[in-house]
Amino acid sequence: MRVRTALCSAASVVSALALLTACGGSGSTGKSADGKPLVGVDYPRSDTDFWNSYIKYTPEFGKELGLSLKTTNSQNDVAKLTANAQTFISQGVKGVAMAPQDTAAIAPTLAQLEAKKIPVVTVDTRPDTGNVFMVVRADNRAYGEKACQFLGTKLGGKGKVVMLEGGLDSINGRDRTEAFNDCMKKNYPNIKVFGEATNWDGAVAAQKLQTDLTANPDIKGVYMEASFALSGTLQVLKQKGLLVPPSDKKHVFVVSNDGIPEELKSIAEGKIDATVSQPADLYAKYALYYLKAAIDGKTFKPGKTDHDSNIIQVRDGVLEDQLSAPLVTSDGGSYGGVPSLKSDDKSLWGNNLG
């Protein structure tokens, strides 16, 4: 008892983590008061409909899987994510789910968690280096390819399009950008692509789109790499008198990525034309599923899963479960060989938020 008291009084010379452990701090056993495994989930941001949907789904699936959650929000800041990971360590979590937006800078944090034998599942993004138990993600190169095939078909293989890129410090931004450009060069060489860096910032995207449309009024297509650009894009098109139905020759064809309810509604209304539905619900479900599996000592290998996806090995020590992300259009047609679902399809998570 005296040893315990001495340790607990030595706050000036021991780390917060060591003190918490010695004093029997909350969560030090890796279980909550009700005996459920304790895991940490860092939300990357809460300023987009997509991530707010992910935040909504996470506690629902945590309860379903019998997990107790500690949550933080890193607000698109890798320094905050690093600090949040330290908090999780001090709370004694048995696993961590995160969605690092800067996929290079997260490496030291991953190394620290690995040294503590705390398994990590990354959601939506794949770290450039470092080991994680599983990456839960869709094939982001396919996002760019599907957008390319849709716009290439709609434009008849010629004309001009603007690509509103995400952040190129993210594997997602790089994958979508490179795949869209590669597809255009290979399949639609007569389409000129104006690539605009936006760092996932809607205001920047709107300003650059307006500049491009002023200089090139014959632009007929826009590829938004995520729904962050939706509101600004619609506003710019409206200001330019271009927010008209697809039957109007002035219509600018717009394809997005995410599958949020507002995108599906805009497709039905003829304001935009397509999106790729990124599964916010399944991201939450399988991030927690794989954390629980890691805690239970399970392992996985490349191959087809029982939930309509494929696990691939992206490098030594890193597996990625590539979840299904369908193209969504108004008519459910096929574009450049890519099938699509209609925007009112009930299988889309964006139609099931209640």
Q: What integer pLDDT is reported at residue 101 of this predicted model?
A: 86
Checking if the pLDDT of 2 tops 50, the result is: no
pLDDT tens for each residue of 102-133: 899 999 999 999 999 999 999 999 999 999 99
What burial class does residue 105 get, using C-beta atoms within 10 Å of its C-beta: 0-12 exposed, 13-18 middle, 19+ buried? Answer: middle
- pLDDT, tens only, 333-347: 999 999 999 999 999
Per-residue pLDDT, averaged over 153-157, amounts to 98
What average pLDDT does the segment 280-301 reach?
97
The pTM score is 0.83
Residue owning tokens 């909350």: 26
DSSP code string of 269-326: TTSS-EEEE--HHHHHHHHHHHHHHHHTT----SEE-SSS-EEEEEETTEEEEEE---
SS3 for 246-285, per residue?
A: CCCCCCCEEEEEECCHHHHHHHHCCCCCEEEECCHHHHHH
Is the confidence at residue 3, as pLDDT, over 60? no
Rounded CA separation 339/329 (Å) = 10
Structure tokens at 18: 């060591």
What would the pLDDT profile of 300-320 be if each residue is shown by its tens digit? 999 999 999 999 999 998 999
C-alpha distances in Å from residue 136, one per residue of 24, 86, 95, 122, 327: 34, 22, 15, 6, 19
Q: Determine how many CB atoms are found less than 10 A away from the CB of residue 304.
A: 9
Tens of pLDDT, residues 28-81: 457 666 789 999 999 999 988 899 999 999 999 999 999 999 999 999 899 999
Tokens 């490098």 belong to residue: 315
Query: Has residue 25 got a pLDDT over 80?
Result: no
